[in-house]
Amino acid sequence: MSTTFQLDTATSRANPTPAPMKRLTIPAIRRRKKDGVTDEPIVMLTAYTARQAQLLDAHCDLLLVGDSLGQVIYGLPSSVPVTLDMMAAHGAAVVRGSYHSAVIVDMPFGTYEQSPQQAFESASRLLKETGCAGVKLEGGEAMAETVAFLSNRGIPVMGHIGLTPQAVNVLGGYNARGRSDAEAAKIVSDAKALDDAGAFAIVIEGVVEPIAIEATKAITCPSIGIGGSAQCDGQVLVTEDMCGMFERVPRFVKRYADIAGLISGAAEQYAQEVRARTFPGVEQTYQPKKPA
């Protein structure tokens, strides 16, 4: 028996509910890849709110509370300004809204790069305050020591290589990585280093497909592609991108819906009815009770 949170859709409130449940575990995710093969690809999407988590949970293996919330939720120019407070608040909301998926929370820029000790302080805070299953950090060989330090102290770590958004100022933009022989070799080397250090999975982002496939084959833990290859062991997308919340669609995104159009259309109809004084109607107002 475990305690999760059930969202009351009538009030949008999350209520603690004792319920038998089997949330996916990190070892279960790790075991998806056996002898270099993942028969059932891993499904991961981003989630930033309890309600969003509730809608995605049944369809996913992993929910990622990504630092992409900086752009998606807060309108920031990049993920660099995102704080640990932001990640903790949104991570806790996503855990409350889910019961099946393992929840992973991004470590924001500046909270883990200085030393393994700094990373442990930040990661342990996220686990304590959110109830998440693990953390994700960016970087390859340079972060291998930190990944090992955290893993050996009970904190599951997902790696992230290739196009690493927190390093956008060094990379000079969001272009695909691995086009040169040297960069391709480094991506594969980074993957191996994180795998050897104990990462339970590695996100491979924005990497030319042959290199994404090579890196996937070179590691024993699952790879999660985003702009990589269908041959990766799993896939992740920013939910708002694949649901059509923004006009710009990155090359690696397939738009599965036009939620922005639905919201805009609903707002337009609402505005028309308010201005015409046809809303609220009898159904949406409280009328005097009829005498008994």
Active site residues: 205
Q: Does 254 appear as a known binding residue? A: no
Residue 47 backbone dihedrals phi, psi, to 5 degrees: -150, 140
The residue count for the chain = 292
Nearest C-alpha neighbor of 95 from the set 137, 57, 149, 66? 57
Containing 104, the helix (H) or strand (E) segment is strand 102-106
Interatomic CA distance for residues 62 and 224, integer angstroms: 11
229 is in an annotated binding site: no
Residue 67, annotated as binding a ligand? yes
68 belongs to an annotated ligand binding site = yes
**Was 138 annotated as part of a binding site?**
yes
Helix (H) or strand (E) holding 258: none
Using a 10 angstrom Cβ sphere, with 0-12 exposed, 13-18 middle and 19 or more buried, the burial of residue 204 is: buried
Q: Which residues contact 48 (CB under 8 A, 6 or more apart)?
A: 65, 66, 69, 72, 73, 90, 93, 94
Does the N-terminal peptide bond of residue 20 adopt cis geometry, omega within 30 degrees of 0? no
Alpha-carbon gap, residue 24 to 156, rounded angstroms: 13
Mode of pairing for the β-strands spanning 223-226 and 234-237: parallel
Residue ranges for the binding site? Answer: 67-68, 106, 136, 138
Which residues make up each annotated binding site for Mg(2+)? 67, 106, 138
Feature table: binding site for 3-methyl-2-oxobutanoate: 67-68, 106, 136
